[in-house]
Amino acid sequence: MRASTVFHLGVKELRGLLRDPMLLILIAYAFTLSVYTGATALPETLNKAPIAIVDEDSSPLSVRVTSAFYPPYFVAPKVITKSEMDQRMDAGLDAFALDIPANFQRDLLAGRAPAIQLNVDATRMTQAFSGAGYVQSIVSEEVAAFADRYRSSAALPVDLTLRARFNPELNKGWFGAVMNVINNVTMLSIVLAGAALIREREHGTIEHLLVMPITPAEIMVSKVWSMSLVVLLASAFSIVVVVQGVLRVPIEGSIALFMLGTALQLFATTSMGVFLATLAGSMPQFGLLLMLVLLPLQVLSGGTTPRESMPEIVQTLMLAAPNTHFVMLAQAVLYRGAGFDVVWPQFLALFAIGVALFAFSLGRFRKSLA
């Protein structure tokens, strides 16, 4: 294998990528807008949910309950009439409509158990799922405080002090931003490496290469290093500019150490992309294979849900996937500020998996050329 040949072939791949506007747009979107929207969209906590209140009691208690709904969980509640409630719910103007009945305060003080009707727009799943609990908690707290004439807290036998480490604000965006970068590193590396091989096959340039004094290993290594370089630079830009700069997510550990782990991850995933391209005859077939491989890699690697919550057989099988070790490495370095002395097992696993995938893909690539 000649280094100069591998270098010039890699430069050829980079030039071919520059002439493909769709792939360039995909790279730019994946590491900018995709990361931003993934970190800020669909919050798990309730955020600015629209609520309307029908106050048929007009008592101090009903006013107190109405004033308890405020941002950031809810927008300022809109007081409406009972005849408007169904109409506004049908029009999708309110996610919640709270109906406080007449004589609510009088029945409460008389020892009765008055009921309040809560209507929820269940088409807004993210808000409806958690919002009903928020409304019930707020109403119960205000009613209890009014009935007791003061705000009281139950005396607990144990004083529990909460210390949220690594994410003291419990901000979902901090987690989502980094996880989107990790997922896009895997996706883009497989796509770019596979597309580079399929593009040459469709254009007929692979036959031109085979009549030259070039080995299959040199062709594959050139695709691996060139496409890995593109994704590595894009991910570094995303971490520094989008995650740290725009989203203001604090990075505790060394970005250089994370980039080194990313390079090992790219070594494995670009080899996987070449292997999938040898199985597929065209880009549509490659896309179908990509979905079958990419979804399990991302969902079962621990980036979406903790690995401990998965069946043991899945945990064991996913140890053979590079994503599992990359997620562990990235979370340890970027979130918890871990050094190489902590994450060296993940580095070693990524290197071993990358070598195995490269050797396997190279063997398959040679057979496909034959």
**Amino acid in the structure at residue 296:** P
Q: Is residue 262 part of a domain?
A: yes
Q: Is residue 22 part of a domain?
A: yes
Whether residue 206 is predicted with pLDDT greater than 90 in this model: the reply is no
pLDDT of residue 44: 60
Q: How many whole angstroms separate alpha carbon 268 and alpha carbon 263?
A: 9
Which residue in 133, 156, 135, 62 sits closest to 100, CA to CA? 62
pLDDT in tens, 73-97: 898 999 999 889 988 888 888 989 9
Task: Flag the least confident range among 4-13, 177-186, 204-213, 315-324.
Answer: 204-213
Same domain, 122 and 223: no
| 225-231: average pLDDT | 93
Three-state DSSP at 79 gives strand
Whether residue 189 is predicted with pLDDT greater than 80 in this model: the reply is yes
CATH number at residue 120: 3.40.1710.10
Same domain, 203 and 277: yes
Can you read off the two tokens belonging to residue 146?
């009014």
Same domain, 270 and 336: yes
Same domain, 219 and 358: yes
Q: How many whole angstroms separate alpha carbon 65 and alpha carbon 189?
A: 54
Q: Is residue 299 part of a domain?
A: yes
Same domain, 144 and 181: no
pLDDT of residue 43: 56
| 233-245: average pLDDT | 93
Whether residue 15 is predicted with pLDDT greater than 80 in this model: the reply is yes
pLDDT of residue 354: 93
Whether residue 148 is predicted with pLDDT greater than 80 in this model: the reply is no
Same domain, 98 and 209: no
pLDDT of residue 42: 56
Q: Is residue 154 part of a domain?
A: no
- The helices-and-strands tally (H runs, E runs) of the chain is 15, 4
| pTM, rounded to two decimals | 0.75
Number of domains comprising the chain: 2
Q: Is residue 108 part of a domain?
A: yes
Q: Are 221 and 278 in contact (CB under 8 A)?
A: no
Whether residue 127 is predicted with pLDDT greater than 80 in this model: the reply is no
Indicate the residue among 148, 181, 203 that finishes a domain: 148
Q: Is residue 159 part of a domain?
A: no
Domain span at 351: 3-30+168-369
